[in-house]
Amino acid sequence: MGETGGEIYISYLKHKGKYKGILSWLLTTDHKRIGLMYFFVITVFFFIGASLGALMRTELIAPGQTIMGPQTYNGLFTVHGIIMIFVIVIPGLSVVFGNFFLPILIGAKDVAFPKLNLLSFYLYALGAVLAVVSQFAGSGPPDTGWSFYVPYSVESSTNVIFALTAAFILGFSSILTGLNFIVTVHRMRAPGMTFFKMPLFPWAIYATAWIQVLATPIIGITLLMVIAERVFGIGFFDPSLGGDPILFQHLFWIYSHPAVYIMILPAMGVVTEIFPTFSQKPVFGYTAIAVSSLAIAFIGYFVWGHHMFTSGTSYFSRLFFSLLTFLVAVPSAIKVFNWVATLYGGSIDLKPPLLYAVGFIFLFMIGGLTGLIQGALATNIQVHDTSFVVAHFHYIIFGGMGFAAFAGIHYWFPKMYGKMYNIRFANIAFGIIFTGFNLFYFPQFIIGMQGMPRRYFDYLPQFTPIQFISTIGAYILVSGLVIMLINLFYARRKGAPAPANPWKGVTLEWQIPSPPPLENFDGIPEITRRPYFFGEDKADKKD
């Protein structure tokens, strides 16, 4: 069904369509090329965002002013957040791997609306560019933090409206992508592939897409309201006009909490694909993982108030949100048990994808457990707005989603580019990244508990030793990332040709050539087996 054999096939990278040269990329509607274009932009912006982070860490290496003043620092953490969140991690795995692999994994030739897909990309690129332009145009880079809290976002004389517009456009791109993916999953599955015969990465993308569609519009209208406050003084959030600033927080977090599930669900989907392949046995608890993705998406809609425990909301509201926050941890924990059970008794092949996936479990668990500490009302008061929170979400987003992204890149790289990277260098990079990451972020939990505030460009002398260690950790982390990037970049140019199935995977993407042909399959496959079928003797007795 599509192995190269003696037949000539044309990879999607070499396919000659209506347009030539750069236009064949800029005007493509092929989901694989669109995925690669996103990949390119995201990689560039990731290193911009990481550099901004490294600059922040350098400022924090010692108390007092080191390389920048407070206004610059405030602008830095704002744009670092905007880029990382709206340009990298929210679109992140959906637009790169969702675009590239969702159609292939469900046996389709493309997404439901390929032209809309291209529009999503251009909106995304426009939003990303605007976010950068907001740094330079007019009255100075925004310094409100990526969360744009009122009243400061209304009062600040910086380019807030630019940044708000960038976020709005990025949100619109996210909505259209989510729409496309939902319809794709509903309408484009290959014959015989019922919902419960779909692999688990498509399940994750599907759950994520619903959040994209139903949560993002709320941030859209909220950003418009802030613009209305700045331009007209419309009053919704202004107490001097009768409004309520906490109403902004409600509206902001009604989106931004589900947004973190947009970030993590695809990541969970990626590692769920990796564990069976590198254990050579089916996923343990397929149904539980599929349903828990939907459960996380659903319950995650009702926990937003846990970002506001110290803002002055009612006691009843705080009780409710704390309870729901503990509840939403349950489906995530179920996944962790299932991943470990998948590995257990398997024929383990410790290649880079699995290294990153196992790293993901470890780091995600630390992030998740520290999230529960914040979810409890009493302890929240101690750690809110401290480095503890910063460490928590970096463990989840970077340690969780970031490591899952690296895992996915190392897993699917041979399929996407038809080249194999140097395994040894990939492993070395992993070791350096993992070490640097923990050296950087773990101590932040400690000083956070001790009272080190977040978003502060200066600090009390007692925090100096740990801030110093953290900064060294950050530098180590960045070196690891650079090694990883160089290894992959080199492989893209000069790597050995990769076979169709280097990892002995059993899902559909491994049954087609590396790189795939334009329409993915020779003919539309017919699905008869469940998705993780490694042969009768290795099959799980229960699904």
Partner 1 sequence: MTDHIVHTEHIDRETGKLGMWIFLFTEMFLFGGLFLVYAVMRVKYVDDFHIAAHDLNTFIGTLNTVFLLTSSMTVAMAITAIQKNERNLVLFLIAVTLLLAALFMLNKYIEWSHEFKNHIYPGSKVLKNLPHGQLLFFGLYFMMTGLHALHVFVGMILLTINLVKVKTGSVNHEYYLLLENSGLYWHLVDLIWIFLFPLLYLVT
Partner 2 sequence: MKNLRSHITGYSTYAIILVFLLVLTALSVVVTGYHLGAFSVGIALLIASVKVATVISYFMHLRSENMFLKVAVSGVFILFGLVIIITFFDYLFR
Q: Using CB under 8 A, list all residues that contact partner 1.
A: 10, 16-18, 29-30, 109-110, 112-116, 175, 179-180, 182-183, 186-188, 213-218, 220-222, 224-225, 228, 231-236, 241-244, 247, 250-251, 518-519
Q: Is residue 394 near partner 2 by the rule CB under 8 A?
A: no
| Residues pairing with 497 in the sheet | 419
Q: Are 158 and 148 in contact (CB under 8 A)?
A: no
Q: Is 186 or 529 the residue whose CB approaches partner 1 more closely?
A: 186
Instruction: Return the number of the residue (234 or 472) whose C-beta is nearest partner 1.
Output: 234
Q: Which is nearer to partner 1, 219 or 389 (CB)?
A: 219
Give the one entry of partner 2, partner 1, none that residue 320 binds, where binding means its C-beta sits below a cut-off of 5 to 8 angstroms depending on kind. partner 2
Using CB distances below 5 to 8 A depending on partner kind, what does residue 494 bind out of partner 1, partner 2, none? none
| Three-state secondary structure readout of 221-257 | HHHHHHHHHHHHCCCCCCHHHCCCHHHHHHHHHHHHH
Q: How far apart are the first and last CA of the chain?
A: 27
Least CB distance from residue 437 to partner 2, whole Å? 36
Of the candidate residues 62, 214, 228, 334, the single one contacting partner 2 (CB under 8 A): 214
Distance CA 252, CA 262 (A): 15
Q: Helix/strand/coil (H, E, C) string of 273-316?
A: HHHHHHHCCCCCCHHHHHHHHHHHHHHHHHCHHHHCCCCCCCHH
Q: Minimum distance from CB of 231 to partner 1 (Å)?
A: 7
Q: Which is nearer to partner 2, 238 or 522 (CB)?
A: 238
Take residue 275 and report the two structure tokens written for it: 């564990």
Q: Establish if 320 lies at the interface with partner 2 (CB under 8 A).
A: yes
Under DSSP, the state recorded for 517 is B
Determine which helix (DSSP H) or strand (DSSP E) holds 34, and give its type and residue range. helix 31-59
Q: How far is CA 231 from the centre of its chain?
A: 33
CB 379, CB 322: distance < 8 Å: no
Least Cβ distance, residue 285 to partner 1 (angstroms): 30
Residue 525 amino acid letter: P
Q: Is 528 exposed, middle or buried (0-12, 13-18, 19+ CB in 10 A)?
A: exposed
Instruction: Residue 486: name its binding partner from partner 1, partner 2, none (Cβ under 5 to 8 Å by kind).
Output: none
Q: Residue 72 and residue 83: Cα distance in Å, rounded?
A: 16
**Is residue 185 involved in binding partner 2 (CB under 8 A)?**
no
Does residue 497 sit in helix, strand or coil? strand
**Shortest approach of partner 2 to residue 335 CB, angstroms?**
23
Q: Which is nearer to partner 2, 309 or 510 (CB)?
A: 309
- Shortest Å, Cβ 332 to partner 1: 25
Touching partner 2, residues 249-268 (CB under 8 A) = 250, 254
Could you say which of 142, 178, 305, 505 contacts partner 2 (CB under 8 A)? 305
496, containing H or E segment: strand 496-497
- Which of 71, 317, 347, 528 touches partner 2 by CB under 8 A? 317
Q: How near is the Cβ of 208 to partner 2 at its closest, in Å?
A: 16
Residue 536 CB coordination number (10 Å):
6
CB of 521 to partner 1, least distance (A): 12
Q: Residue 536 binds which entry of partner 1, partner 2, none, with Cβ cut-offs from 5 to 8 Å by kind?
A: none
Instruction: Provide the binding-site residues for partner 2, judged by CB under 8 A.
Output: 186, 214, 246, 250, 254, 301-302, 305, 312-317, 320
